Structure 1
Amino acid sequence: MRPDVAWVTIAEPKEIVVIVVKRKGVLPGDGPSSGRRLTLAGQVLLLQLAVVAGVLLVVAVISFRQSTAAFTDERGSAMRSVAEYLAGGEVVRTGVDDTTATRTLAPFVERAVALSGATDVLVTDPDGVVIAAAEPSRVGTTVDLGESRVREGRGWSGDVVRDGGRYVTAHAPVLADDGTLVGIAVAEQSYPSWWDRVVDSSSDLALYLGLGALLGGLGTWAVAHLLKRRTRGLGGEEIATLADHRYALLHSIREGVVAVDNAGTVTVMNDAARRLLGVSDDPVGRPISTVGLDPELTALIAGDAEARDAVVLTGDRVLVVNRRAASSRGLGIGSVTTMRDRTDVVEVEQQLSSNLSISDALRAQTHEFANRLHTISGLVELGEYDELASLLGTLTRERAVLDASLREAVQDPAVAALLAAKASQAGEAGLRLRIDESSRLPTLDPDLAADLTTVLGNLVDNALDACRGGAGSEVVVRVGDVDGTIEVVVSDDGPGVPDEIAASIFSRGYSTKPEVLGGRGIGLPLVRLIATRRGGSATLDGSGPGATFHVRLPRVGDAA
């Protein structure tokens, strides 16, 4: 098998579906020349690594800004202390307006710089003209006081931009004894370069960023590894292709497919299943019990037991259902149920079964007549004419009674012929088929007569099968027209229907002889199907000994 082709095979009895999905760009010469495309896990890995790198970059920027803010607070406080210390000195207060102030104050200014580490310390007059400075070149220049309110006798600190540089600056008023402003003390600290700030914080920042990168990388690798396992190493385009093929497969096949998870929630229901089950809206995501299906079908789909070719009657359809548990890597993930519409096939099978039943009845009559002819021939040869006359009289009376009861009770020739054949079949098996005295059936239209013979044939065959082996067992048939509805009652004195399957006998089917074509496995669902199509009903009464089936077929109904 080529490595660039994925084979997915779904097999059911008599049904094989093969999906071929070609992976692009896997073999040399296939797809783009750039080589094999990244898998979905690889794409997610790269994306997550990019996200981690972006997060680390944002953290670095925030850390840098926090370092700058910390420098501003720390050095701003220090510059305020220096300026206030210098402004409060007695020498500065008394010598600021002296003509020798530049020489007198210089030692105090330089000392302040040395103690505080400030970039520059100045003493100016009230107008901002520098009187003394640690940088002599600034003497005589004017300090831009900007938004400072130091002339009002208030201290101030903030950022100042001067000569292309940025400084943390503090101003403090120099006051005479009478409170008059006689000068201003200024302390400045230049901001370090961005590189110096990065280097200063690099030890902690590198540790935090390294830990973040390590944890982020490990987490990203773990997620990508898990995703690779879950996606079987496929790429995003390949997964999309598989999803498209899955959708096309599920919604193009004629067989219905229903999948439920372990909680009984519908995960898949294709168009064919919705059509077969009469579901109008999309049930995916809803519990199967809320979809509105027949309770027996719901129990089959959501149950634990596997089903193989189970016959289910739902609405006016006969479905053949298969259910299997679904698993992934040994873990149960729910079940998949497939269903096929076999309504037409069942009807054809039933017609063949009816023909087979009639053939058996004719064979039984032939066998019975042959036995009687042999008996008559033997009596003639023996000269037992009195015994022969008695036998012929008995046979004549029995046939006359049966024919008279059938002619009186059943006027429809097709139904009468069926019952006569079934009576002979019962007699050959050592059983008795009796027509109830209250039976009255007029001539029916051909369609209704055909449906009625199918119903009667199934019910009588089932009753005879149930009574086989019981000496003297009897099957009673009552058929009549009651207010425009044909009512059929077939009862037997056999073992009856087990209580545990009585509720599902028409939908799931039941047979004591499953190998018989048209037996109870298919026959009883067909009986209910015919009754339902005509707007009637088919029920079982198991309260007494044996079993009694009641069927109602309206003469004017929704005949299919």
Structure 2
Amino acid sequence: MMAAVVATFRRQTLAGEMLLLQLAIVVVVLAAVAAVSLAQSEATFNRVEGRRVAALAEQLAANPLVRSQLTRPLPREALAPLVNSMQTQSSVTSVTVADADGRIVSSTNPTVTGDPLPLGEGATEGRGWSGSLRLDDSRELVAQVPVLGATQENLGQHLGTVMIGEADPTVWQRLSGASSYLLAYLGIASGLGVAGSWLLSRRVKRQTLGLEPREIAGLAEHREAMLYGIAEGVIALDPQHRLTLVNEMGRRLLDLPEDCVGLSLAELGIEGRLRDVLAGDREGTAGRRDEVVVRHGRVLVMNRMTVTKDGRPLGSVTTLRDRTELARLEREIGSFRSSTELLRAQAHEFANQLHTISGLIQIGEQEEVVRYIRALNQRRQSLDVSLSRRVRDTAVAALLMAKASLAAERKVRLRISDDTALDRLTPEDAADVATVVGNLVDNAVDAAAAGETDEGEPWVEVDLRQDASSVEIVVRDSGPGVAPELAREVFSHGFTTKAAQEGERGIGLALTRLVCERHGGEISVTNTPDGAMFTARMTVSHLADAVAEGAPR
């Protein structure tokens, strides 16, 4: 039977279980209230009625007729009217008179005449007693008072006992007597309890979207498996920008403490561009996808989605992907792309030069051919000598040579500052310096090609300087400069100069900043009367130190 009840309970819906549990609680509370009311009613009855029957018994015991008749042989006939009158006037259940031997001589119940008078527990002959006794298959609250002689012959002598009893009320009578409104109160409380239980069950059902406990448990298990089984970071915020959920990958990518859930972005020290993307505060960041943010040396791509229900904002969920390795690969691919572009530009340049020479030969201008070839040779030697004399690192020099050809193809003149001086670097430092120089020159060429200059020909100038422990890279251009509102965040956005103007997104400058920070340096941008000027500083190792440690040349 119990197993069937448990099985039926388990088959109930969550709302049904809540309703049954609430109803059970209401029933228990009502039973407790009823029990307390019964106990109070019984205590009141024993106190009030006990005093009343005791007073009536003392009054009857002091009656001269009772005292005189108990000394005679047959007192029943004389005492019967008095006993019945006492019962009628006082509305008690029973009135009994016994002689000194404890035999009942008169009673409102004639069938007990001649029977021994029942004494209460602890009652003694000649002393008063009150309490509960079972009489004639019913329990009564009785008071027993001794009848003592008052004449000179029997003064103080125990002549008999008077017992007056009041029947205990039933449970229903006690509940009715506890309070005239108790039953009404219990009924109202029952109705309110049932209605409240039903409303609570409906509310729980709405809040759980009609899901049952096993379904909620399944969703929780699936959520844990999804959050901690994917390779992307997941961060959830409430409308007050407090973290409500973060998986292990998200915590690792943002370097958050283990107890970060429940803390706000400000308490976690998340500021700047990262905070704008997570909170969606800045205009244009809420609906854009694949936002690039640099955080503690990592290039992160973030996608934010606002969560609403019935038009009410519940917060946001942001996913994070680590693109640091991908950015490194893009940098390496970029170097190959630069080489390819260099070969293409040189092939195009050589083709144009050959076409010019061929045309001069065809029209018979042999001397002009000689002068043209000498001019080309002098320009090439001038650039080669300038680079080889000022830039001794072959990787950086080759990069600048390639960028010069690409710039020339776009009608932009790339020049090397007279103050440029760069010694040979370790291969690792040379690769990073080349990355910074390449990205800055590419952005400068794009800006110069798109801008206008009073000198007629757009230009880009590169200035490389090296001291005992660092390299400073300064790239100037004749372009329109960087908008003031983007000057502080252009590196955080991951925009190139061209992207900042046209609204496209890239990670060129973000990579540049990442490389500089990894070398303990920094990068900044300012506007000059001619255009923009990017300044990057990086800490590098001396080639002699690297050779001493066994590094390859």
Question: 65, 69, 94: which is aligned to 2:39?
Answer: 65
Distance 1:477 1:465 in 2: 15
Match of 2:195 in 1: 218
- Whether the aligned pair in 2 keeps the contact of 1:459 and 1:549 (CA below 8 Å) is no
- Whether the aligned pair in 1 keeps the contact of 2:429 and 2:540 (CA below 8 Å) is no
Q: What is the CA distance between 1:459 and its match in structure 2? A: 0.9
Which letter does structure 1 place at the counterpart of 2:475?
V
Do the aligned partners of residues 51 and 145 (structure 1) sit closer, same or farther apart at CA in structure 2, a change above 3 Å counting? closer
Question: 236, 248, 253: which is aligned to 1:276?
Answer: 253
Compare 106-115 and 37-46 and name the one that shifted more: 37-46
Question: 500, 503, 506: which is aligned to 1:521?
Answer: 506
- 2:442 is the alignment partner of 1:476: no
- Whether the aligned pair in 2 keeps the contact of 1:96 and 1:182 (CA below 8 Å) is no
- 2:518 is the alignment partner of 1:537: no
Distance 1:99 1:36 in 2: 77
Distance 1:482 1:370 in 2: 42
Q: What is the CA distance between 1:225 and its match in structure 2? A: 1.7
Which letter does structure 1 place at the counterpart of 2:27?
A
- TM-score, length basis structure 2: 0.81
The percentage of counterpart residues that share the same residue type is 41
- Whether the aligned pair in 2 keeps the contact of 1:126 and 1:181 (CA below 8 Å) is no
Q: What is the CA distance between 1:100 and its match in structure 2? A: 5.8
Distance 2:385 2:436 in 1: 23
Do the aligned partners of residues 150 and 277 (structure 1) sit closer, same or farther apart at CA in structure 2, a change above 3 Å counting? farther
Compare 468-477 and 301-310 and name the one that shifted more: 468-477
- Whether the aligned pair in 1 keeps the contact of 2:120 and 2:129 (CA below 8 Å) is no
Q: What is the CA distance between 1:192 and its match in structure 2? A: 3.8
Q: What is the CA distance between 1:248 and its match in structure 2? A: 0.4
Segments of 5+ residues of structure 2 without an aligned counterpart are 1-6
| Count of paired positions | 522
Distance 1:317 1:531 in 2: 13
Distance 1:499 1:513 in 2: 15
- Whether the aligned pair in 2 keeps the contact of 1:150 and 1:172 (CA below 8 Å) is no
User: What SS does structure 1 have at the residue aligned with 2:506?
Assistant: helix
Match of 1:188 in 2: 165
- Whether the aligned pair in 1 keeps the contact of 2:66 and 2:79 (CA below 8 Å) is yes
Question: 448, 462, 465: which is aligned to 2:443?
Answer: 462
Which letter does structure 2 place at the counterpart of 1:452?
V
Distance 2:253 2:72 in 1: 111
Match of 1:45 in 2: 19
Compare 105-114 and 309-318 and name the one that shifted more: 105-114
1:91-490 paired onto structure 2 within 5 Å = 91-92=65-66, 97=71, 101-124=75-98, 130=104, 132-136=106-110, 137-139=112-114, 141-144=116-119, 146-147=121-122, 157-161=130-134, 165-172=138-145, 176=150, 180=156, 184-194=161-171, 207-293=184-270, 295-304=272-281, 305-372=286-353, 395-468=376-449, 469-471=451-453, 472-490=457-475
- Whether the aligned pair in 1 keeps the contact of 2:291 and 2:303 (CA below 8 Å) is yes
Distance 1:537 1:523 in 2: 17
Distance 2:229 2:460 in 1: 49
Q: In angstroms, what is the RMSD of aligned CA positions?
A: 3.8
Q: What is the CA distance between 1:132 and its match in structure 2? A: 4.3
Q: What is the CA distance between 1:537 and its match in structure 2? A: 2.3
Match of 1:505 in 2: 490
Q: What is the CA distance between 1:43 and its match in structure 2? A: 2.1
User: What SS does structure 2 have at the residue aligned with 1:475?
Assistant: strand
User: What SS does structure 1 have at the residue aligned with 2:245?
Assistant: strand
Compare 137-146 and 348-357 and name the one that shifted more: 137-146
User: What SS does structure 2 have at the residue aligned with 1:521?
Assistant: coil
Do the aligned partners of residues 479 and 125 (structure 1) sit closer, same or farther apart at CA in structure 2, a change above 3 Å counting? farther
Distance 1:150 1:458 in 2: 120
Distance 1:35 1:168 in 2: 46
Which letter does structure 2 place at the counterpart of 1:290?
E
